[in-house]
Amino acid sequence: MAVSYWRERDRYYRILGSKCQNCSAEFFPPLYRCRKCGSDKLSDHEMPQEGQILAYTLLRDPMTGFEDHDPMPIALIELNNGVRIVAQLADTPIDQITVGSKVRAVFRRVRVNGPNGQIFYGYKFAIKNEKVNLTR
């Protein structure tokens, strides 16, 4: 496993963005300079765990290593603080995904690394009030 993965692992397990100490603007992914006021005084800031779907698509030709996620629902989500994020949807039947649905972050398996079987986890989003399916 790459050393860089371990150094950045908090970013895979939590939705860490940036918050400007000058104007309080929030960003995801993290930035080194504020897009609103230009300040370089930004700090790590955990994003809200809930939001709503603005748009979505179904990826029907999955990337290598994600063949068992066919089709893979991907959504543009606006978090409760107004920050927008693109993320995979989980635990939701495809026919129940709709624009405007309320979602929450969930911690799920992202993939298994081939021959050594190492499991990578991270955040995905699920429609709120759905029964949680831990198999995916």
* pTM of the complete model: 0.78
Whether residues 39 and 72 share a domain: the answer is: no
Whether residues 41 and 58 share a domain: the answer is: no
- Quote the percentage of the chain above a pLDDT of 70: 78
Whether residues 59 and 24 share a domain: the answer is: no
Sheet with 42-46: list strands edge to edge. 26-27, 16-20, 42-46
Domain span holding position 79: 50-127
Q: What is the mean pLDDT of residues 90-106?
A: 92
Whether residues 97 and 73 share a domain: the answer is: yes
Whether residues 72 and 122 share a domain: the answer is: yes
Whether residues 18 and 78 share a domain: the answer is: no
What pLDDT, on a 0 to 100 scale, did the predictor assign at position 129? 72
Residue 134 lies in a domain: no
Whether residues 40 and 63 share a domain: the answer is: no
The count of domains in the chain is 2
Amino acid making up residue 4: S
CA 136 to centroid of chain Cα atoms: 15
Whether residues 33 and 61 share a domain: the answer is: no
pLDDT, tens only, 27-69 = 999 999 999 999 999 999 999 999 999 999 998 887 776 767 6
Nearest to 76 by CA among 125, 27, 13: 125
Reported as a pLDDT band with limits 50, 70 and 90, residue 3 is low
Q: What region does 38 belong to: left with phi over 0, alpha with psi -120 to 50, or beta?
A: left
Residue 12 phi, psi dihedral angles, 5° rounding:
-85, -30
Residue 84 lies in a domain: yes
Helix (H, G, I), strand (E, B) or coil at 3: helix
